[in-house]
Structure 1
């Protein structure tokens, strides 16, 4: 067996091609034996060859080369400039006071994000698409079967019509036959009578011939001997038979179709709500369910970060490491959770103050500009207007599990509030009234925030109404939670920000009572979270079920653990 071509042979050195591999160059990604290591390292002295044992291959990180300093490797990463940097870059004034991290840490974070997306693709998205493919295949099979049933039904109906037509044809044939026989019988009788008369006439002719030829004068002188032919001069009546007239029914295309039956046109309907991700539906059919987490006996504060806002309103998780924040001005700030450092600051496109913000599954920022009647998205440092309305001002916004936008709108002139679902910039659904035609949401310039629960319920914290209003995916009212007074305070329930966790708990901030209410998916009170909160406003929860609370008065964000 040739050791260089055998699929069953062990790996051989890339240089000598005979000795079993013992070492590995992580720089060139080449397998080597110990004897060939020296030859390999001197073959290209421009590189720094990292030689490791075969078992540790690919363990040495390959740092990118610096674009500004030749032969320098970038072992650090500048968050502000969003580029790898080398030691010389760091020593220069170009990155002074910038947030510089080890590139391996950045890579670990990137790998973690990529791994999470890979897991989502593998465990959620791919199985969902496979289920969709199976569903479509079943529909194809069922469609073939149903069209077969339809064809069979038409053939059977045609056969029935053929039998009815054959019966009618046989009946008409019998009637024609009966008419023919009746007329033939009458004509035959008439013929027999005429034939009999002809026979009598011929006998008269023969008698006269005999009589005339006779020499018997006595007979000839007898007056009675003169034949009476007058009776033959009264000719019989002429019998004229008439044929029955057959008038075939007119066979026109449209009339024939109506006679046989009409085939209604088929259609293909696109139901955008027809499929959903398996892990987002809380139902027996769901592909997987989140692990059950118990409540901590006592919630605990993990960290507190100052955002620099005098009046902080909103917080939204960009990832498990970063949060977006906004206050009562026109700026949005991105912070690192662990380091507490400011990573980015963006001003609204119009210069107006924003009302609310949310983060898409692609980690893009979405914000509402109710003074400009627009919803905007921040992509690659640019801002695009994705929704523009004429009469309705958008207030709160959230991203659904199906990547739709749910937006709370308010019409100043008509003094009406509504929730609108958008797919991109296309309106898909409007939720405004209950089954009795009464408004679901209050009116006026009051705080209202929105989120979607894991069971696809739409949850709105209605500040003026003093209630959390929850409707199902179709917009039907499920319940209203009007609060429960904590033991330390007796102020009215004043809901502000709202969010949900993996257990389908609904959490809403109550700034009157300086706490967060936790209720279950059916509206039953579960617990309070206070921990010395000062006017809690915006809420969000990351993928680990850590709660982030934006505190209005002191501009700080608290990270809280309340689930095991």
Structure 2
């Protein structure tokens, strides 16, 4: 028995060892009397937790694997393991930083509680939502695949009707030919039969003359044998043949109609940020009066794209001229012609500072590194349009089909397609068809934002491609309909889009709520980008200038 424990089970304070205990410090795992408890908590170097002794939590110390009679009451920070006092004094952990195991457990417990809270309130609900969405999609499959089967049956019936009609036309033609053939033979038969009748009559007359020995009949007889030596014409009719074409199964399959390939893409899962990472960046309020801080003369007739290389250098492109790198004083730093010799459709700067551009003349996506052009992607059946670089250094490319009936957004990692975004959950197109511009940008929350000029809307989907919202303009003071051209986003997750017909920029929050306009005397604003300090650069179609605007 402990020397301080008597037979009457009187428990004494661990510090003074004379007064019965009343409290317990859960941090230090010691028992205290009233006086010692007051002195103990006065030590502000630790966050002591003194509770009534009867309310104390029992501590399950781990037995030391090296010293069986000892408990691990100390934590070695270097080795990352619980140890006992003997382990420390024996020299094995000499010079290592150590801490009280209960302090470590307390910190770990707090971390565990944070993890549990995040799992319960943020992560698990998202998994449940994803599972629910998959079940919804599975329920829709029966209807969609049922329609495909019905379409195939209907196409089969159409082909059956067409084949039956063709067979009937051929059989009718055969019957008509047969009738004509028999008519020709019957007519020939009639002519021959008539000649036979005449020959029989002549032969009978000759027999009668010979038998009668009548001088008059014999002397007046005129022979017709020469007439009958020329036989009647024989009708020759060739029975038509049926030249059956060899059935080309491939052509028949193509004629029947084709199924688009089943596309099963494992898309980038949304990476949920930790509770600490979710905290917002430093708030930069919007200026009441945005102001132009620099104006760059591009030298283009109509500049339509701009992308920041740095705070004072921007790449630009315009009609029928090379891409240009300009500084704020309009000085030309670099000029690069496209590989095809045509004009680029859009440009973007990667996180590594390289330039990418889309070329509609040969349907390619190209990377310029150290002034050397590499063709990264060549499209088949689709035409590249606008491009942007993501926070993960992927490329998002908008494109339209060769028949101009479909539009989509494709994500590329290097030259590998990793995601395709085209339809909503009901299977309806997310984006307009046709050749209109479809500028694109990734927001800080990883939403994918498109300025769909053809739809006259900003279309925003989340990282998985699910539609979040459409913005079709603000009703105030609109001269003409909303015509979004360029689009960009900033550190505050604002969405900025150029409304060229109304000569202004719309600023939206990340959920599509209108905040305010930027005017600044703009004329036909087209391409947009922001630099790392959230300065806005606007390529003006109407003035051949790029304006740098401070709006935060």
TM-score norm. by structure 1 comes to: 0.50
1:420 aligns with 2:410: yes
Separation (CA, whole Å) in 1 of partners of 2:540 and 2:340: 26
Note if contact 2:404-2:433 (Cα within 8 Å) is conserved in structure 1: no
Among 309, 315, 319, the alignment partner of 1:324 is 315
Deviations 1:265-316 (A, max 9, x none): xxxxx9884696xxxx776352764211101111111111111111110000
1:476 aligns with 2:466: yes
Q: Which has the larger radius of gyration?
A: 1
Among 516, 522, 526, the alignment partner of 2:505 is 516
User: Paired residue for 1:372?
Assistant: 362
Separation (CA, whole Å) in 1 of partners of 2:419 and 2:429: 16
User: Paired residue for 2:549?
Assistant: 560
Alignment of 1:388-427 (within 5 A): 388-413=378-403, 415-427=405-417
SS in 2 for 1:297: coil
1:301 aligns with 2:292: yes
Alignment of 1:59-78 (within 5 A): none
Structure 1 residue 414: deviation in Å?
A: 5.9
Note if contact 2:270-2:464 (Cα within 8 Å) is conserved in structure 1: no
User: Paired residue for 1:360?
Assistant: 350
Separation (CA, whole Å) in 1 of partners of 2:433 and 2:397: 15
Alignment of 1:69-108 (within 5 A): none
Greater shift in the superposed pair: 293-302 or 495-504: 293-302
Separation (CA, whole Å) in 2 of partners of 1:468 and 1:409: 16
User: Paired residue for 1:292?
Assistant: 283
Among 470, 491, 499, the alignment partner of 1:502 is 491
Separation (CA, whole Å) in 1 of partners of 2:289 and 2:319: 32
- The Cα RMSD (Å) is 2.0
Structure 1 residue 457: deviation in Å?
A: 0.2
Distance 1:283 1:461, change over 3 A: farther
Note if contact 1:316-1:359 (Cα within 8 Å) is conserved in structure 2: yes
Structure 1 residue 412: deviation in Å?
A: 2.0
Structure 1 residue 486: deviation in Å?
A: 4.3
Alignment of 1:338-349 (within 5 A): 339-349=329-339
Alignment of 1:416-495 (within 5 A): 416-487=406-477, 489-495=478-484
User: Paired residue for 2:200?
Assistant: none
Greater shift in the superposed pair: 467-476 or 325-334: 325-334
Where in structure 1 are there 5+ consecutive unaligned residues?
1-137, 139-269
Deviations 1:503-558 (A, max 9, x none): 00000000110000000000000000011100000000000000000000111011
Structure 1 residue 447: deviation in Å?
A: 1.2
Separation (CA, whole Å) in 1 of partners of 2:274 and 2:459: 22
Note if contact 1:324-1:334 (Cα within 8 Å) is conserved in structure 2: yes
Among 550, 554, 557, the alignment partner of 2:539 is 550
Deviations 1:416-460 (A, max 9, x none): 000000001100000000011110000111111000000000000
Note if contact 2:292-2:548 (Cα within 8 Å) is conserved in structure 1: yes
How many residues align structurally? 289
Note if contact 1:282-1:289 (Cα within 8 Å) is conserved in structure 2: no
Among 304, 321, 325, the alignment partner of 1:313 is 304
Structure 1 residue 413: deviation in Å?
A: 2.0
Alignment of 1:271-290 (within 5 A): 273=268, 284-286=275-277, 289-290=280-281
Note if contact 1:486-1:513 (Cα within 8 Å) is conserved in structure 2: no
The runs of at least 4 consecutive aligned structure 1 residues that moved more than 6 Å come to none
Separation (CA, whole Å) in 2 of partners of 1:465 and 1:390: 25
Alignment of 1:71-150 (within 5 A): none
SS in 2 for 1:296: coil
SS in 2 for 1:293: coil
